[in-house]
Every structure is written in structure tokens, then in C-alpha cells.
């Protein structure tokens, strides 16, 4: 038996404070420059209404850097543990 | 063109009289010595605004510059600075704001924009991916700031456009008109909205799809992570994330240092239950951040009952609560939030506006202004009266037209009310009462280059646990755990000079110099002065961030020296434009009338001791202790050619 530890991103949009640190970090990590347009995550802000929407692009490779820097808990890394079957995969 | 790192490498130069638009590249020496932000602004204004320039004339220059760290993920690096000769003070006018405008400007390929002249008709400047257009905007003149922002986004077909706009107050040249930064932030102080209005400039809109490039990515990411950890490690981080600036509302009442009823009372009846941080959870469950900020000190507020039911706004901020809640005694947060909305729409600096309304309320109480003068009653705490008077100020109607000049100029025209007009150099300080709490912070009211204000100095380890009586003037208490002292990003020899070796008591004149230089460094790089940052991020981290971002090696002592250079240049601007040594003084009320009620009741300032402390501050700065002018030796040391 093998214990699998997997980190997943739990997304809680209601906790987003709109800082866009996730998108800034993503663009730097993957493109070597700060460019929110090229990031795999985007925070769509409605500033008048104080609302934020999180969107991931299909090019996201789930490197999870965004969640590592999120200060608000909107993106949170959580460790899931589970027992696998006989075959290790 | 060679690659530029950190900086966008372009400052636009727009002449509204002729409609010409040029661009300049900031050179290496300028970057190293003045960094960006307020530093670049000070250089341009000192060199180019003539001494006799009318602040509201075409020869005044309005400059926007972002901090060099803005547009990156450096925590709290969101801020940009706007400066011009101030119509309120006639001196160096300058204001700082976060939000998203600055980062958008960087993504649009610009570090800043210099605006000269006067457009023949109302216009908007639209900066899009490195180029600027001047767009006719007669149809926007008269609209409030919120309407203007929405209209520009709609007309240009892009809801992501960031807008710096004036409201009716700026159009009508109110001396404390703000430039609104999006709906809920502002470059508020020193009347820069009126400068924009005088240029017939309704808004500066920006949109960019570009990038900010990083010289040394790996190193930069490490230092960004270290900066984030430093901020998270601050004992103020948790409370600030929870309560934002409202955190301070309890100690201010406890110490009796509120400016109650225009600085007549240090405490306010019912304060804790009606206007303090205890109310934050009732109205808000979440914070709203500026770009790249992990603190999110502002809160999204929703009022669900009572006369302001349905009001939704980014607020719960200490400035309007102190100004209108204590200064004007408006006794509930929903009404204060409505005041915030009104000021944001009209484009008014909430600090000076509160001071003007408080002055009018005091004069109303004393019978010097009557209901027949105003058209409505204006007793302390009047919500409707406040709303009405703010509109009258912005539209320059009746008594509002007089108050629109700021309290210094309006006092002689309001039954000789100079005694009630609280200002330094024409700018209204409206936070804590220096009589009730003497500190680095309140010495700053008179040393501040932009006039009476609390935002350009602050002891990074300011202690709101202690209040001393009698006031020692020269020192203030530290009394935090030693760890905080040890972690402070300050050279060891400086710590030894500023802090008493055993008690850690703070030398106020020395700390004032340090704090002003540090905050200049923040305002030149785009960092925010919220306490979790202020006491953890100093010249070492900023120099490392700067060097790894830009590829220009800057040592920590060069970084703090840049802050000092910028402060000195602003002072030189003031001297060139007529500041006198006697202008650096508190209003008479603080010397002659004791605090009226509360724990600080009976206290007033001692002129001799203030003068002595100020002279010590000048010495700490290397300035002439009598005149407060930078000495030739100091200027030579800083490499400033006066």
C-alpha cells in the first residue's frame, strides 16, 4: 500500500481581495516578465462593485505558484491524502 | 533601444496649450539619485516651475510618476505620486495613491507623465500602450468623478481602463480638490485637483497590454518572498488585515487625542460603540486590496438597515471617521460612508473637507455663521448639513464658496475666525491632536514639506500603548518587545543614535529625519506606508528589490540617501516659492487653548519647547537651526545644485 500525498488548489472566490499577486507571479514564473495578460490566471475586477472573478486559462499547467503567493486564502494549497490500490501509479 | 528593466523607460511630456506630446527617457544618474515617483516629480518641478508661477496658471506643471517597483509583485508596491505647485499652500504640492492606476501606466509603457499649459477646452488624456492622445471632453465637464470614470470606460470601449479624474470641485478650482484614482482612491492632499481643473484636464486615462521586465529574476523573486515574509511577520499584520486603518480608533479615544469638534475635545461621547473598529465586522466581511498588496486595509462596506440602507462602498477607513466622525461629530459609520461617497464623487480631499466643515460647525455654534447665511442649520453632527455644505463647497455656492479656499484663506472672511482655522502652511492636519500626544508623528505636522499633514512622517515603531504626561518633547516611548527593535531595517549606528540604549526611548528629532527620508524612499519606489510595511521594510530590502529589478546596483545607504535628497529638494522648492521659517509652526489653538475633555484635558503645547525641538530637528537634518534652510554643505553632500 502506498500513501499518496497530492496538493490541490482550493478556490474560494469570495475571499479574493483583488490584489492580482497571483497573475503577476504567474507571468513572471512562466514568461520571465510581469504581464498579467500572459498569465494563466486572471482576476477580473469590477472596482465599482468591489467584486472579483478568478479565471484560469486552459494553458495553466497547475504549477500552483499562484496559490503559494495568494495572501487572502482565495487560492489555497491543501494536501489531500488517500490510499491507492495495489498498483502504484 | 536597449532593454530597460523595472522602469518602463519613458516619461511622456504633454503640452495642453499647444497639443504637442513628446517623450523623454529617464537617464541613469536621475534614476540612481531620485529613483522615480516623488523623486522625479521634485526634480521636474524644482527645475521648471518659476518662483512666481500661479498654481492655477498655465505655467504650473502637473507631474504623475509611478514608483519604480510598481507593476511588479513586490508586496504593497502599488503607489504613484502626483505633484505640482499647490494652490492650497503655494508650496510643493504632492499626493500619493495606490489602487491600479500606476501599475496600468507601467503596463502602458510609461513611468510618468508631465502635463504643462492649459487646454482651450476640456480634455482627457488617454495613454494607451506608450502613446498619448488628447481627446475633447466638453461633454464630461460637470460630471462627478464616478460618472466620469464610467463614461470614459464606456466611450473608449474598455472596462479595464484606469482613470484619474476630477469632479466638480476640481473644475471649480476648490483649493482642496482631489484627483480621484478610480472610484474609491485618490491623490487627495494639497489641491492638485484644482491644478488639473485649471488646465481644463478632466481625466488621465490609462490602459496597457505591455510588461515590466526584470533584470535578475531569480534574485528578485527571492527578495520579493523575503519582503512578503517580513510583512507577514509584523505583529501589526493580522490586526491590519482585520481592521485596516480603523485599528487606531480605539487608542485615539483612550488617549483622548481625537480632534473632537474641530480640536476642542480629545474624546467623543459614544465613540467606541458608534465609530470605532468594533463596528467593522457589522458592516464588512472582507478586505479590498490595491494591486500586489497582501494587507487589504480597506474594506468593502455594505449598509443593510437604517437611513443609508443599500449603501455599498469601499470604506471603513480612519481618515473620514476621524475627520467627520470626531472633527464634525457625525455619530454613525453609515453617514460617514455617505460623506466618503460624496467627497469621492465631488473630488474633495476628505481631510481638508472635514476641517472646513468642522470650522463652519464651530462658527455656527458660536453664532458667527447663521442658518440664514447657509440656507440650512449646521449643528455639530448634522448629516444633512454636512452633505449640503460639501456640495456648496464643490460648486462654490454661498458660504461654500468661501470655505472652498481652505480654512487659512476663508477664516478672515468668516467673522475673523483665524483662531478656529486649523492649518499649517495652508494645509489642514486632521488626525491626532499634538497637544494630547506629542510624538514624531505630530512634530511632522510642522516639518512636513507639503504642510499640515500626517502622512509624510511616522515613527516606524510608533507605540500606541503609551501616552506620556507631561510631554518630554525630545523623546517618545518605545516599550515594544526588543525583537521589534532588533528586526528594524535600520543601520546599527543609526539605532544607537535614535534609540536610548536601555529604555529604547526614541529621539524624536533624529527619528523625524529618518522617517521622512524613509517615507520619501517609499514614495519614490511605490511602497505603502501602512505599519506592517513601515516597520519591516527599510532601505536594505528596498535597495535589494530595486537592484535585482532594475539591474542598477543600489546600496542601502544610497537608497536612504535618495530619500533624504528628495526631501531636501522639496524643501528647496518651498524656499524658492516663498516659505518662511515662521511658517513651520502649529496653529495658535494648540498653544493657547488646552484640550477640552478626556484624558488629555488641560494639555497644550509649549512654544519654547516646540521651537527647541524644531531646532534640534533642523540640526539632525544638517540644516540651519535658525532658518531651517538646507546648508550649502548638506546640499553638496547630497549632490544637489541649488
**Is B642's pLDDT higher than 90?**
no
Numbers of helices and strands, H then E, in chain B: 29, 18
pLDDT, mean of residues B14-29: 97
Assign A88 a pLDDT band (cuts: 50, 70, 90): very low
Cross-chain Cβ contact B182/A47 below 8 Å: yes
**Is the Cβ pair B211, A34 closer than 8 Å?**
yes
Residue of A nearest to B100 (CA): A19
Interface with chain A: mutation pick from B211, B302, B545, highest number of A CBs within 10 Å = B211
Report chain A residues whose CB lies below 8 A from the CB of B75.
21, 71
pLDDT of B483 = 87
- The pLDDT mean for chain B works out to 96
- Closest listed residue to residue B337, CA positions, set B308, B367, B378: B308
- The reported pLDDT for the residue numbered B468 is 83
What is the mean pLDDT of the segment spanning A5-28? 95
- Which has more confidence, A82 or B610? B610
Please tell me the predicted confidence (pLDDT) of residue A89. Answer: 36
Residue B229 has pLDDT above 90, yes or no: yes
pLDDT of A8 strictly over 70? yes
Which residue among A14, A19, A45 places its CB closest to the CB of B293?
A19
pLDDT digits (tens, 9 = 90+) for B521-565: 999 999 999 999 998 999 999 999 999 999 999 999 999 999 999
Among residues B207, B190, B145, B205, the alpha carbon closest in space to that of B45 is found at B190
Q: Which pLDDT belongs to residue A86?
A: 45
Could you read off the pLDDT of B278-299 as tens digits, one per residue? Answer: 999 999 989 999 999 999 999 9
Residues near B622 by beta carbon (within 8 Å), at least 6 away in sequence: B630, B631, B633, B634, B637
Neighbour-count burial for A38-61, b at 16+ CB within 10 Å, e otherwise:
bbbbbbebebbebebebebeeebe
pLDDT at A1: 66
End-to-end CA distance of chain A: 11
Instruction: Tell me, rounded to whole angstroms, the distance of Cα B237 from its chain centroid.
Output: 21
pLDDT for the residue numbered B125: 98
Q: Using the predicted structure, report yes or no on whether residue B275 has a pLDDT greater than 90.
A: yes
CA distance B95 to B450: 9
Query: How many whole angstroms separate alpha carbon A27 and alpha carbon B212?
Result: 10
Partner-chain contact B296 A25, CB within 8 Å = no
Q: Report residue B191 CA to chain centroid gap.
A: 11
Question: pLDDT tier at B469 (50, 70, 90 boundaries)?
Answer: confident
Helix, strand, or coil (residue B334) = helix
Tens digits of residue pLDDT in B377-429: 999 999 999 999 999 999 999 999 999 999 999 999 998 899 999 999 999 99
Among partner residues A14, A15, A19, which is closest to B291 by beta-carbon distance? A19
pLDDT of B440 higher than 70: yes
pLDDT, tens only, B128-181? 999 999 999 999 999 999 999 999 999 999 999 999 999 999 999 999 999 999
Q: Is pLDDT of B9 > 90?
A: yes
Contact B183 A14 (CB under 8 A): no
Percent of chain B with pLDDT over 70: 100
Quick one: pLDDT at residue B445?
98
ipTM: 0.96
Site from A14, A50, A51, A72 to mutate, B interface, most B CB atoms within 10 angstroms:
A50
Q: Do B294 and A32 touch (CB under 8 A)?
A: no
Q: Answer whether A38 sits within 8 Å of B211, measured CB to CB.
A: yes
Q: CA-CA distance, B612 to A48, in Å (whole number)?
A: 49
What pLDDT is recorded for position B99?
Answer: 98
pLDDT tens sequence across B502-524: 989 999 999 999 999 999 999 99
Nearest to B74 by CA among B523, B560, B546, B530: B546
pTM (two decimals): 0.97
Q: Which position has the grid cell 499647444?
A: B18
How far apart, in whole angstroms, are the C-alpha atoms of residue B477 and residue B450?
27
A26-64 pLDDT, tens per residue?
999 999 999 999 999 999 999 999 999 999 999 999 999
User: What average pLDDT does this structure show over B357-363?
Assistant: 98
| Structural domains in chain B, sorted by start | 11-207 (3.60.9.10), 243-420 (1.10.569.10), 440-638 (1.10.599.10)
* pLDDT tens digits along B375-384: 999 999 999 9
Domains and their CATH numbers in chain A: 3-80 (3.30.70.20)
For residue B321, CA distances in Å to A81, B89, B381 come to 48, 25, 12
Amino acid at each position: 500500500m502506498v500513501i499518496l500525498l497530492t496538493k490541490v488548489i482550493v478556490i474560494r472566490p469570495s475571499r479574493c481581495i483583488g490584489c492580482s499577486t497571483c497573475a503577476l507571479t504567474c507571468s513572471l514564473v512562466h514568461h520571465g516578465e510581469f504581464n498579467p495578460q500572459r498569465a494563466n490566471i486572471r482576476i477580473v475586477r469590477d472596482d465599482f462593485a468591489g467584486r472579483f472573478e478568478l479565471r484560469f486559462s486552459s494553458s495553466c499547467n497547475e504549477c500552483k505558484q499562484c496559490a503559494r503567493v495568494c495572501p487572502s486564502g482565495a487560492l489555497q494549497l491543501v494536501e489531500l491524502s488517500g490510499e491507492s490500490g495495489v498498483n502504484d501509479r | 533601444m536597449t532593454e530597460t528593466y523595472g522602469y518602463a523607460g519613458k516619461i511622456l511630456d504633454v503640452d495642453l496649450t499647444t497639443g504637442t506630446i513628446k517623450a523623454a527617457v529617464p537617464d541613469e544618474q536621475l534614476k540612481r539619485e531620485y529613483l522615480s515617483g516623488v523623486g522625479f516629480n521634485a526634480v521636474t518641478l524644482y527645475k521648471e516651475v518659476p518662483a512666481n508661477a500661479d498654481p492655477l496658471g498655465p505655467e504650473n506643471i502637473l507631474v504623475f510618476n509611478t514608483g519604480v517597483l510598481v507593476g511588479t509583485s513586490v508586496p504593497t508596491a502599488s503607489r504613484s505620486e502626483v505633484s505640482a505647485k499647490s494652490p492650497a499652500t503655494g508650496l510643493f504640492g504632492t499626493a500619493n495613491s495606490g489602487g491600479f492606476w500606476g501599475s496600468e501606466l507601467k503596463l502602458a509603457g510609461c513611468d510618468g507623465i508631465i502635463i504643462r499649459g492649459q487646454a482651450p477646452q476640456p480634455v482627457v488624456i488617454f495613454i494607451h500602450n506608450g502613446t498619448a492622445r488628447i481627446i475633447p471632453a466638453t461633454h464630461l465637464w460637470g460630471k462627478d468623478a464616478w460618472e466620469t470614470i464610467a463614461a470614459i470606460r464606456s466611450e473608449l470601449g474598455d472596462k479595464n481602463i484606469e482613470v484619474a479624474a476630477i469632479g466638480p470641485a476640481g473644475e471649480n478650482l476648490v483649493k482642496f480638490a482631489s484627483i480621484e484614482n478610480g472610484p474609491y482612491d485618490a491623490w487627495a492632499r494639497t489641491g492638485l485637483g484644482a491644478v488639473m481643473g485649471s488646465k481644463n484636464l478632466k481625466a488621465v486615462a490609462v490602459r496597457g497590454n505591455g510588461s515590466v521586465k526584470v533584470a535578475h529574476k531569480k534574485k528578485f523573486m527571492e527578495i520579493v518572498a523575503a519582503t512578503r515574509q517580513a510583512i507577514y511577520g509584523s505583529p501589526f499584520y493580522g490586526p491590519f488585515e482585520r481592521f485596516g486603518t480603523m485599528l487606531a480608533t480605539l487608542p485615539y479615544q483612550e488617549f483622548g487625542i481625537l480632534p473632537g469638534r474641530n480640536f476642542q475635545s480629545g474624546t467623543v461621547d459614544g465613540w467606541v460603540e458608534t465609530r470605532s473598529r468594533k463596528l467593522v465586522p457589522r458592516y464588512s466581511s472582507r478586505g479590498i486590496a490595491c494591486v500586489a498588496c497582501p494587507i487589504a486595509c480597506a474594506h468593502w462596506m455594505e449598509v443593510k438597515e437604517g437611513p443609508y440602507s443599500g449603501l455599498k462602498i469601499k470604506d471603513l477607513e480612519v481618515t473620514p471617521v476621524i475627520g467627520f466622525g470626531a472633527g464634525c461629530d457625525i455619530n454613525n459609520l453609515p453617514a460617514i460612508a455617505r460623506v466618503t461617497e460624496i467627497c469621492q464623487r465631488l473630488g474633495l480631499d476628505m481631510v481638508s473637507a472635514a476641517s472646513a466643515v468642522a470650522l463652519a460647525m464651530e462658527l455656527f455654534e458660536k453664532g458667527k455663521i447663521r442658518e440664514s447665511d447657509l440656507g440650512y442649520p449646521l449643528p455639530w453632527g448634522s448629516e444633512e448639513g454636512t452633505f449640503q455644505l460639501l456640495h456648496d463647497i464643490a460648486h462654490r455656492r454661498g458660504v461654500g464658496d468661501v470655505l472652498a479656499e481652505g480654512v487659512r484663506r476663508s477664516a478672515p472672511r468668516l467673522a475673523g475666525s483665524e483662531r478656529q482655522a486649523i492649518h499649517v502652511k495652508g494645509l489642514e492636519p486632521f488626525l491626532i491632536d499634538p497637544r494630547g500626544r506629542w510624538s514624531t508623528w505630530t512634530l511632522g505636522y510642522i516639518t512636513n514639506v507639503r504642510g499640515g499633514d500626517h502622512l509624510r512622517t511616522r515613527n516606524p515603531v510608533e507605540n500606541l500603548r503609551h501616552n506620556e504626561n507631561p510631554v518630554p518633547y525630545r523623546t517618545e516611548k518605545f516599550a515594544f518587545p526588543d525583537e521589534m527593535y532588533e528586526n528594524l531595517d535600520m543601520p546599527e549606528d543609526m539605532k544607537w543614535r535614535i534609540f536610548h540604549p536601555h529604555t529604547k526611548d526614541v529621539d524624536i528629532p533624529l527619528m523625524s529625519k529618518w522617517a521622512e527620508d524613509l517615507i520619501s524612499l517609499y514614495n519614490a519606489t511605490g511602497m505603502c506606508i501602512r505599519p506592517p510595511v513601515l516597520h519591516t521594510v527599510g532601505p536594505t530590502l528596498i535597495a535589494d528589490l530595486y537592484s535585482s529589478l532594475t539591474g542598477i546596483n543600489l546600496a542601502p545607504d544610497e537608497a536612504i540617501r535618495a530619500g533624504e535628497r528628495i526631501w531636501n529638494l522639496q524643501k528647496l522648492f518651498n524656499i524658492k516659492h516663498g516659505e518662511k521659517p515662521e511658517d513651520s509652526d502649529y496653529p495658535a489653538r494648540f498653544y493657547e487653548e488646552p484640550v477640552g475633555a478626556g484624558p488629555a484635558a488641560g494639555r497644550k503645547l509649549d512654544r519654547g519647547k516646540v521651537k527647541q525641538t524644531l531646532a534640534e530637528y533642523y540640526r539632525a537634518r544638517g540644516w540651519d537651526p535658525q532658518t531651517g534652510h538646507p546648508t550649502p554643505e548638506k546640499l553638496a553632500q547630497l549632490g544637489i545644485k541649488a
